[in-house]
């Protein structure tokens, strides 16, 4: 039996984007304050934004 590369059933993809260095520093500070990674903070921000702005 082949092993599922996505054990939680969710497929993930990498998203890259350029940002000003100051924005990255500010986001890192926010992530550090919450004891989470920058990646986790960005997932939290984007998922919350999509949830709030999703069309009914």
Among candidate residues 20, 17, 39, 44, the one with its CA nearest the CA of residue 28: 39
pLDDT in tens, 2-56: 565 656 677 888 889 999 999 999 999 999 999 999 999 999 999 999 999 998 7
DSSP per-residue codes, 1-56: -PPPS-TTS-----------HHHHHHHHHHHHHTT--HHHHHHHHHHHHHHHH---
Domain ranges of the chain: 21-53
Can you give the pLDDT at residue 3? Answer: 61
Tokens for 17, please give them. Answer: 């984007």
Can you give the pLDDT at residue 4? Answer: 58
Can you give the pLDDT at residue 10? Answer: 76
pTM of the model: 0.73
């Amino acid at each position: 039996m082949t092993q599922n590369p996505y054990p939680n059933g969710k497929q993930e993809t990498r998203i890259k984007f350029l940002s000003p260095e100051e924005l990255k520093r500010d986001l890192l500070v926010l992530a550090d304050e919450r004891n989470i990674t920058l990646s986790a903070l960005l997932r939290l921000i984007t998922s919350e934004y999509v949830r709030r702005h999703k069309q009914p």
